[in-house]
Amino acid sequence: MQENDSNKATVVQPDYSAAIAALKARFAKQLSTNATIREQHGHTMTWLTNQPPDAVLTAYDKHEVAAAVAICNKHKMPVIAFGIGSSLEGQLNAPYGGLCIDMHAMDAILQVHNEDLTVTVQPGVTREQLNHYLRDTGLFFPIDPGANASIGGMVATRASGTNAVRYGTMKDVVLALEVVTASGEIIRTGTRAKKSAAGYDLTRLMIGSEGTLGIVTEVTLKLFGISECIGSGLCHFPSIEEACQAVMLTIQMCLPIARIELLDSLQVKACNRYANLDLLETPTLFVEFHGTEASVREQAESFNEIIREFNGTDFVWDTNEAERKRLWQARHNAYHASSALRPEASALSTDACVPISGLAECVSATAKDIEESGMLGPIVGHVGDGNFHVLLLVDTDNPEEVATADAIISRLAVRAIEMDGTCTGEHGIGQGKQKYMAQEHGNAVAMMQAIKAALDPNNILNPGKIWPQPLSIND
């Protein structure tokens, strides 16, 4: 099983009774030590062992978060922030126990500045909630990781998604953060200005830190105008390699495509069954174009010319909103559709990202590896930026299957790193991918740990995550 040493080891839990008593005195019924609630907040969408916290606090504002963190820091008790619970690499587990701060009730949209194309929200706001709120403004928030994740969680994991090829990732759309530090202090990391040359970029330091450097209590985001015309469609290919070659040329030709998603034949089969579709079960690209009616038509025609070079066929596209939503809903349900192929098995989602020039080679090698293993493992990806996912369906009670799946994941991570890519494009490290950090970052890991030690000397903020060997706690 893909578990790091810290997740396997038996950890002697410190006595946090004094900290819990202090938290109860401050927060009363907002604090729960109920075993079921604790287990729900240690839940991860992975096969890593559930490691629940000692207590769960439902926070309603930044001052409550700051007060709770200050109490925990005084008692050297770990703190794990919780949004929706959709993380995939064990980021929410509590290997050393501690307090989980549930942020779902901090879900206010605080300010919308239409003229500046910015919005400020609390961390519990979800991406769907935000876009529903913005529906009459002509603006939208483009980061779409599939799950209806919380904005705070998306900051913590540096989320990406289907629109990243045109609109970027969370690091590109976050202007400023309000953060509670390890000592319980509230700081701001930026302003609503679109750029700054004043000091260290603390905003991007926090983005992707998985809750190990601070707890986000407010986020200021860039917004974008909804295009006059949106066209979406799909096309088929004889092989994954040809589909990836078409993607590579599309990007290299600077076609301003908004979305370009790859589904292999098994993933298309899963979507057909799950969503009652009748797509040809062969490698397929889902695409979307944004712009004026004329520019969307021009983009579609250019894309059609590109795919013909790689035996792409049956390209159809439309501007019908209902059809577009139906198509992308099928894509967003890929996880559940794949899981339904083998419902008795556990689903393990992993991802990697490579430079676009290496996409075809990396995806093809991964597909061959899965096929030769005899396992079920659909492939789907945000291939416009070189990012793709594998969902392995594994009987975790079968040691041979577990070992086979772990080997596939390891080979994928190493393959991506050796191609000057990364072991994870958007899922993050958490507990599940710690063993690849040294290979990917080399001596830079020591610098990262030095930053962590400086900002969180008691190592209370989500300890046991990201690092191959967790920093000591409660020494």
124 and 87 in a common domain = no
Distance CA 474, CA 212 (A): 16
Residues 99 and 113 placed together within one structural domain of the fold: no
Residues 115 and 86 in one domain: no
pLDDT reported for residue 5: 43
What pLDDT is attached to residue 251? 94
- Cα three-residue angle 464-470-471, rounded to 5 degrees: 115
Q: Rounded to an integer, what is the distance from CA 294 to the centroid of its chain?
A: 34
Residue 450 within a domain: no
For the four alpha carbons of 19, 23, 28 and 29, in that order, the dihedral sign comes to negative
| Cα radius of gyration (the chain) | 22
Residue 157 lies in a domain: yes
Q: Total structural domains in the chain?
A: 4
Q: For residue 258, give the CATH number of its domain.
A: 3.30.70.3450
Statement to judge: residues 10 and 100 lie in one domain: yes
- 57 and 98 share one domain: yes
Mark which of 418, 440, 459 sits at the end of a domain: 418
Are 60 and 106 in contact by the 8 Å Cβ rule? The answer is yes
CATH assignment of the domain containing 171: 3.30.465.10
pLDDT of residue 48: 83
Residue 159 is assigned to a structural domain of this protein? yes
Whether 290 and 356 map to the same domain: the answer is no
Closest Cα to residue 214, out of 162, 265, 152?
Answer: 152
- 237 and 290 together in one domain: yes
CB of 204 within 8 A of CB of 105? Answer: no
SS3 content of the chain, % helix, strand, coil (to 5): 40, 20, 40
Residue 96 shares a structural domain with residue 120: no
Q: Could you tell me if residue 442 is inside a domain?
A: no
Nearest-CA neighbor of 274 among 380, 414, 140? 380
Last residue of a domain, one of 197, 225, 253: 225
Structural domain contains residue 176: yes
| Residue 430 covered by a domain | no
Instruction: Specify whether 402 is located in the same domain as 341.
Output: yes
CATH code: domain of residue 39: 3.30.43.10
What is the domain extent for residue 164? 109-225
User: Which residues, listed in sequence order, are joined to residue 112 by a DSSP beta bridge?
Assistant: 119
Please report the pLDDT score of residue 323 as a whole number: 84
**Do 279 and 213 belong together in one domain?**
no
Domain boundary, last residue among 418, 439, 456: 418
In a domain, 427, yes or no: no
Does the predicted model carry a pTM greater than 0.85?
yes
Asked if 277 and 382 sit in the same domain, the reply is no
- Let me know if residue 426 belongs to a domain: no
Q: pLDDT tens digits, the chain, 475 residues: what are they?
A: 344 444 444 456 789 999 999 999 999 999 999 999 999 999 767 778 899 999 999 999 999 999 999 999 999 999 999 999 988 899 999 999 999 999 999 999 999 999 999 999 999 999 999 999 999 999 999 999 878 899 999 999 999 989 999 999 999 999 999 999 999 999 999 999 999 999 999 999 999 999 999 999 999 999 999 999 999 999 999 999 999 999 999 999 999 999 999 999 999 999 999 988 889 999 999 999 999 999 999 999 999 999 999 999 999 999 998 888 888 888 888 888 999 999 999 888 899 999 999 999 999 999 999 999 999 999 999 999 999 999 999 999 999 999 999 999 999 999 999 999 999 999 999 999 999 999 999 999 999 999 999 999 999 999 999 986 555 544 4
- Could you tell me the CATH number of the domain that includes residue 373? 3.30.70.2740
131 & 98 share domain: no
Q: What is the pLDDT of residue 469?
A: 59
